[in-house]
Amino acid sequence: MKSRRRNFTVEEAAENFWPSFTDLISTFVLILFILVIIAFIQNIVTGNNLEYSRKQLMDTQDRLESSRAEISQAENQLRLLEDELADTMAEIEIGQIALKLSEQEVDEQRQIIAESNRELGELRSKLQGIAVLRLDVLGKVKDSVEAALGKTNAQGQPLVTISDAGNIIINEGLVFDFNSAVVKPSGKELLNKLAEAFKSVLDDETTRLNIESIIIQGHTDERADADYNRSLSANRSGAVVNYMLSTDRELESEYGKYFASSAYSEFRPIDTGTSEEAYAKNRRIEISIVIKDSEVQNVIDEYLEETQEMIDSAEE
């Protein structure tokens, strides 16, 4: 009885042991399964994170490459800008040099212009001097006559006047009768003083060198025909020259080559009117001093030569 009871206890104990072990194993397996699941889930999560990280890394690399490309492009543009800046600075430097040269050329041109203006002023002065010489000669002749005979005759008519053209005018009534080419006795005194005055002028070598000729001109009014007037004006001017040279043989021998006569008939009237007063003005003897063209030309040539020398020196 006791033996059976003991065996029952052992068997019961054995039976009680195995379920506990089985539970333990089951629990362990369950825990291991849970751990595996957790590991699997973590692996999935980790894989997703890794893939995301890879994508981010690739995006970052792409952006980095893009940035590098932009930096490279910017560097290229910067080099181009530096090259353009260098070219621009070179052009500016060349422009500054050209500007300085231009300013120098402008200054030289200004100097040339100033010098030309100065020389032109001198030329004008010389030409004016030559022109004034002509009036000066006529003025001396007029003053000499007036000093000896007075300014007017007994009728109050001026003995000599100077026209707007710069010629000495002698009223024909002072020297000739109407329609006559014979010098009147009262006109001889006037012509004597004219001869003396011209001799005095021609004795001055400086003045004489600039005189080409002394022209005695005959003029009539428009009455009568042109042939008659031409003949009358020519005879009167010739008579004046002949009388002055015949009364002073020294004037003729030394300075006869300067005197000449010309006739303009009725074609150069002073007054275009038809009154007796107008006709009286037109009947006249005019004395003109012709200045040598060579003297004027010499002054001009001298100016042109000096100007060309100045231009040539500036170009060098």
Instruction: Please tell me the CATH code under which domain 123-301 is placed.
Output: 3.30.1330.60
* Res. 182 pLDDT band, cuts 50 70 90: very high
Ordered by start, the domain boundaries in the chain are 1-45, 123-301
pTM of the model: 0.56
Q: How far is Cα 108 from Cα 66, in angstroms, rounded to an integer? A: 61
Q: What is the pLDDT of residues 8-46, one digit of tens each?
A: 454 555 555 555 667 777 787 788 888 888 877 877 777
Q: What is the pLDDT of residue 163?
A: 85
177-203 mean pLDDT? 91
Q: What is the pLDDT of residues 63-122, one digit of tens each?
A: 888 888 888 888 888 888 888 888 888 888 888 888 887 888 888 778 877 877 777 777
* Res. 57 pLDDT band, cuts 50 70 90: confident
* Res. 232 pLDDT band, cuts 50 70 90: very high
285-289 mean pLDDT? 92
Q: What is the pLDDT of residues 294-303, one digit of tens each?
A: 656 566 666 6
